[in-house]
Amino acid sequence: MTQALDIDQLRSETPGCAVSTHFNHAGSSLPSNAVLAEVTEHLQRESLYGPMEAAANAAGLIDEARVDAAGLVGATPAEMAFSSSGSAAWGLAFAALPPLMAGDRILVGRQEWGGNLSTMQAAAKRVGARIETIPVHEDGSVDADALAAMIDDRVRLVALTWLPANGGLINDAAAIGKVTRAAGIPYFIDAAQALGQLPVDVSAIGCDMLKGSGRKFLRGPRGAAILYLRKAFLEKLEPAYLDVLSASWGEDGPKVRTDALCFETSEKSIALLLGLGAALKQARSLGVDAIRQRIRHLSGQLRDQLTSIPGVTVRDLGTEKSGLVSFTVAGIAPQTLRSKLAEKRITIAANGIPYTPFDMTARGLNEVARASVSYLNTIDEIDRLCDHVAALA
């Protein structure tokens, strides 16, 4: 049975809730007092005892954070690495793949994150490989059957952004995984918007790599992210660079670690990782099922209210939708709308083509406003946002 969330208590433990009406959780959410305390108290310990000494004393807590990260996605701790950002994690895994060759193909979902696309395109361009977009269903989600028809011996990678940055679509990641498993093709998932919002089970999904940011729906600090690498797949990768943590030096030279820590370095922000650990622990304690249930309710309410405002068009695709609500207002550029709302201490985002180039171009959109909902939000805040949007419209 899903437990009820004590929203009043959770908001009282989140300083930002008293300052603004925050609807940019898909960009960066509001950290709790517990997250702030872990970060600031460790920095104080560094100033008193030295950063190396403070890090040594915190090693057990970092191990706990790795266990919680694994538990959140259904993996083992040995399959989890920490990184400074989701983009860095994705790039490290991509760079460790066997080199592309002329004629190779990379298949991507139409909503693939622009940063991932740039990394893939740069690598493909150097050797004459190419990136191809998987067709979509009528609801805009990636079509697994169409993907199966595209598979041949030149396909080197399938990449999917599970929940795109430009709206409420949720792709069927597990359906894509069935195709890639059957074909024996590496499968990368960008779960930046999924972690902390949706239940995640990497075994059920069938992915080889999954990365996610700590700063979004997990409510961790900026500068900390997680990277999952399936054990059997990890053995096929060659990290692009090594250091004394990822590969110890012996008589025969460097010996690369056999776990996911081969993608970490000895130099990292322990304070931020401790903050991420607190956020992971809270998400698991609250229960992602309960979080998902509340976000579904609140975002549905927001879509309904926005749809009822003359001049407002909700732009979300998908059958089952996430907490990312995208919309446009006739006659008002999304960046202008964002600025006008910020004057009222209401925070939203405005996303352009670079975030999801293929999808925005296919739909003829230059930019959308995006209000992303957390379990922290309330109906009163939704009413306030919609009242101000209506006034501007």
Please give the pLDDT value at position 21: 98
Please give the pLDDT value at position 291: 98
Residue 78 tokens read as 């040995």
Q: For the residues 141-147, what does the mean pLDDT come to?
A: 98
Residues 6+ apart with CB under 8 A from 83: 89, 92, 211, 224, 225, 226, 227, 263, 264
Please give the pLDDT value at position 4: 87
Q: For the residues 12-40, what does the mean pLDDT come to?
A: 98
Give the pLDDT band (50/70/90) at residue 2.
low
pLDDT tens per residue across span 82-131:
999 999 999 999 999 999 999 999 999 999 999 999 999 999 999 999 99
Question: Could you write out the DSSP letters of every residue in 52-81?
Answer: HHHHHHTHHHHHHHHHHHHHHHT--GGGEE
pLDDT tens per residue across span 240-262:
999 999 998 888 899 999 999 99
pTM for the predicted model, two decimal places: 0.95
Please give the pLDDT value at position 57: 97
pLDDT tens per residue across span 161-220:
999 999 999 999 999 999 999 999 999 999 999 999 999 999 999 999 999 999 999 999
Residues 6+ apart with CB under 8 A from 23: 346, 347, 348, 371, 372, 373, 377, 381, 385
Residue 381 has pLDDT above 60, yes or no: yes
pLDDT tens per residue across span 51-65:
999 999 999 999 999
pLDDT tens per residue across span 266-305:
999 999 999 999 999 999 999 999 999 999 999 999 999 9
Rg, Å, the chain Cα set: 21
User: By CB neighbour count within 10 A (0-12 exposed, 13-18 middle, 19+ buried), where does 27 fall?
Assistant: middle
Read off φ and ψ for residue 280, nearest 5 degrees.
Answer: -60, -45
Please give the pLDDT value at position 252: 87
Closest by Cα among 138, 140, 120 to 130: 120
Read off φ and ψ for residue 344, nearest 5 degrees.
Answer: -100, 10
pLDDT tens per residue across span 325-343:
999 999 999 999 999 999 9
Share of the chain above pLDDT 70, in %: 99
Residue 3 has pLDDT above 80, yes or no: no
Please give the pLDDT value at position 1: 53
Beta bridge partners of residue 369, listed in sequence order? 327, 350
Residue 13 has pLDDT above 90, yes or no: yes
Cα separation of 11 and 46, whole Å?
A: 30
Share of the chain above pLDDT 90, in %: 97
